[in-house]
């Protein structure tokens, strides 16, 4: 089995027991075998030895909400409100997507995410077998789900659900377990209640989690009240959505009672600060969610509403905006913000036993940050530097499952230059068709 020995590095483990240590990490196969200040004794035989001097190693980041293929639409429609952006700009363009648009849009996103330090991502889209193929090839880890919009005749609803179930069955556990699957009604405002109930039942049958957009805008909450007589949290709860593992994206507009219910039901919330700001949806009640014991993680949403997929940006925003909103500088401290992008991300997607931390026995998903740059000096607090001063551009190398997937800033298993050229070609065709 292949061994890697990172010698003399600084490790931000994300483990409260020993958050930062200077020392050595040994990887065997896909697992962290050893992590300590002392030299490994005996020295790991036949290991690839990597000089860790000048690098900060930390767990790969976990992006818990996005739509990778929409990277083709980055910059296509800015400065619009959510419903206008979605209905008048995104959906007409997405209606013209072909398989190759899905492939190159996804590849563009995966390349960007890996190169900026994200090793696991949640993706909700259609043509998901293509997304899964790109994930498999890239070496990345993904929790993938065919999102369904139910504003269509019953036979089309059924066909979409069958496709989603087939995908969830076919790909769960593939790529050495790097790929897992879920089921996803797109949102309560795009799926009638009986359709959501069928999706919930299907998730129970297949034993997979559920994911959806929820309470992203005030208008959506009001529409839910007008249509169904209650707010989205109660609506989804009545439909059984929270009776098994569930992850909701956004959750910007919540009452105290809704926060308490999400905590009680163990629902994960993917906080997407950049997308929520850009679409003027609002600012989620992150400190209140955390205080209530809700598992909160971070998502970028798509590059069409962000406009990048650098999770370091979300980490910094999460640390900053809630200080501004609350007037409390301790609202989201740096360490908590970094946890949102790592350990809490792993917890939100039910994988905290294997990813999100550098710890012996856990999967070797980790990133190397080039800390020999002006913005990492002086060496005061490395966690502070990562959150308030770092970015995805500082990521030099990335490993997933013990395999190096980014080397010197370039993807190992994807052709970054080809991806950029194909993405440009696809976008131009979409624009002119
Ligand atoms: C049916 S697959 C995914 C679907 O989601 C749409 N989408 C992208 N970003 C958002 C968002 O912030 N809120 C709601 N829906 C969103 C995307 O256009 C796809 O059609
Ligand atoms: Zn989304």
For residue range 133-180, list pLDDT tens digits in order: 999 999 999 999 999 999 999 999 999 999 999 999 999 999 999 999
Residues 420-424 have a mean pLDDT of 98
pLDDT at position 159? 98
pLDDT at position 408? 98
Cα–Cα distance for residue pair 164/33, rounded to 1 Å: 37
pLDDT at position 320? 98
Cα–Cα distance for residue pair 280/287, rounded to 1 Å: 20
pLDDT at position 65? 98
Residues 180-191 have a mean pLDDT of 98
pLDDT at position 9? 98
61-348 and 3-59+365-411 share a CATH fold: no
Give residue limits of the domains in the chain: 3-59+365-411, 61-348
Cα–Cα distance for residue pair 300/66, rounded to 1 Å: 6
pLDDT at position 156? 98
Atom of ligand 1 nearest to the CA of 126: 2
Question: How does residue 96 score in pLDDT terms, banded at 50, 70 and 90?
Answer: very high
pLDDT at position 403? 98
Centre of ligand 2 to C-alpha 6, Å, is: 37
Write out the CATH class of domain 61-348.
Answer: alpha beta
pLDDT at position 356? 98
Determine whether the shortest distance from the Cβ of 66 to ligand 1 is under 6 A. no
Report ipTM for this prediction: 0.99
Centre of ligand 1 to C-alpha 325, Å, is: 27
Residues 393-421 have a mean pLDDT of 98
Residues 44-61 have a mean pLDDT of 98
pLDDT at position 401? 98
Cβ burial of 282 (10 Å; 0-12, 13-18, 19+) is middle
pLDDT at position 247? 99
The set of residues, in sequence order, having a beta carbon less than 8 Å from that of 394 and lying 6+ positions away, is: 369, 370, 371, 373, 376
Cα–Cα distance for residue pair 278/281, rounded to 1 Å: 8
pLDDT at position 121? 99
Centre of ligand 2 to C-alpha 376, Å, is: 33
Ligand nearest to the CA of 124: 1
Residues 215-223 have a mean pLDDT of 98
pLDDT at position 30? 98
Atom of ligand 1 nearest to the CA of 86: 18
Mutation pick for ligand 1 pocket among 66, 186, 189, 307 (CB with most ligand atoms within 8 Å): 186
- Nearest residue (by CA) to ligand 1, atom 19, is 125
- Strand, helix or coil at 11? strand
Determine whether the shortest distance from the Cβ of 186 to ligand 1 is under 6 A. yes
As a whole number, the mean pLDDT across the chain is 98
Cα–Cα distance for residue pair 309/3, rounded to 1 Å: 31
Centre of ligand 2 to C-alpha 270, Å, is: 10
**Do the Cβ atoms of 289 and 278 come closer than 8 Å?**
no
Percent of the chain residues topping a pLDDT of 90: 100
3-59+365-411 topology per CATH: Urease, subunit C; domain 1 (2.30.40)
Q: Say what the pTM is.
A: 0.98
pLDDT at position 126? 97
pLDDT at position 83? 93
pLDDT at position 269? 99
- The DSSP bridge pattern shows strands 366-370 and 395-400 to be antiparallel
Residues 178-202 have a mean pLDDT of 98
The set of residues, in sequence order, having a beta carbon less than 8 Å from that of 110 and lying 6+ positions away, is: 68, 121, 134, 135, 138, 140, 414
pLDDT at position 280? 97
- Nearest residue (by CA) to ligand 1, atom 3, is 125
């Amino acid at each position: 089995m292949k061994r890697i020995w990172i010698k003399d590095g600084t490790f931000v483990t994300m483990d409260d027991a020993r958050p930062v240590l200077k020392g050595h990490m040994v990887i065997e196969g896909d697992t962290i075998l050893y992590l300590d200040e002392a030299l490994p004794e005996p020295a790991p035989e036949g290991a690839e030895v990597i000089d860790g001097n000048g690098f900060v190693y930390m767990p790969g980041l976990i992006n818990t909400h996005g739509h990778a293929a929409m990277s083709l639409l980055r910059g296509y429609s800015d400065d619009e409100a959510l419903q206008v952006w979605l209905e008048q700009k995104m959906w007409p363009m997405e209606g013209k997507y072909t398989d190759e648009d899905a492939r190159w849009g996804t590849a563009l996103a995966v390349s960007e995410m890996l190169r900026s330090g994200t090793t696991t991502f949640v993706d909700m889209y259609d043509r998901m077998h293509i997304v899964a193929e790109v994930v498999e090839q890239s070496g990345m880890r993904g929790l993938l789900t065919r999102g369904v919009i139910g504003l269509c005749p019953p036979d089309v609803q059924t066909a979409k659900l069958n496709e989603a179930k087939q995908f969830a069955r076919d790909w769960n556990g593939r790529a050495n377990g790097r790929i897992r699957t879920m089921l996803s009604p797109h949102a309560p405002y795009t799926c009638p209640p009986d359709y959501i109930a069928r999706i919930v039942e299907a998730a129970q049958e297949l034993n997979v989690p559920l994911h959806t957009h929820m309470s992203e805008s005030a208008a959506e909450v009001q529409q839910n009240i007008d249509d169904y007589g209650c707010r989205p949290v109660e609506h989804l709860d009545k439909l059984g959505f929270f009776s098994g593992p569930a992850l909701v994206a956004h959750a910007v507009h919540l009452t105290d009672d809704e926060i308490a219910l999400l905590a009680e039901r163990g629902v994960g919330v993917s906080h997407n600060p950049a997308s929520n700001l850009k679409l003027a949806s609002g600012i989620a009640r992150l400190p209140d969610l955390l205080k209530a014991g809700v598992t909160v993680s971070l998502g970028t949403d798509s590059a069409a509403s962000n406009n990048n997929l650098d999770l370091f940006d979300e980490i910094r925003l999460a640390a900053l905006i809630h200080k501004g909103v609350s007037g409390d500088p301790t609202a989201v401290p740096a360490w908590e913000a970094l946890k949102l992008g790592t350990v809490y991300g792993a917890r939100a997607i039910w994988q905290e036993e294997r990813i999100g931390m550098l710890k012996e026995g856990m999967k070797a998903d980790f990133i190397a940050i080039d800390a020999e740059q002006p913005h990492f000096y002086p060496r005061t607090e490395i966690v502070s530097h990562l959150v308030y001063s770092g970015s995805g551009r500082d990521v030099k190398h990335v490993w997933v499952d013990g395999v190096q997937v980014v080397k010197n800033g370039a993807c190992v298993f994807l052709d970054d230059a080809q991806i950029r050229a194909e993405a440009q070609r696809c976008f131009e065709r979409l624009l002119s068709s």
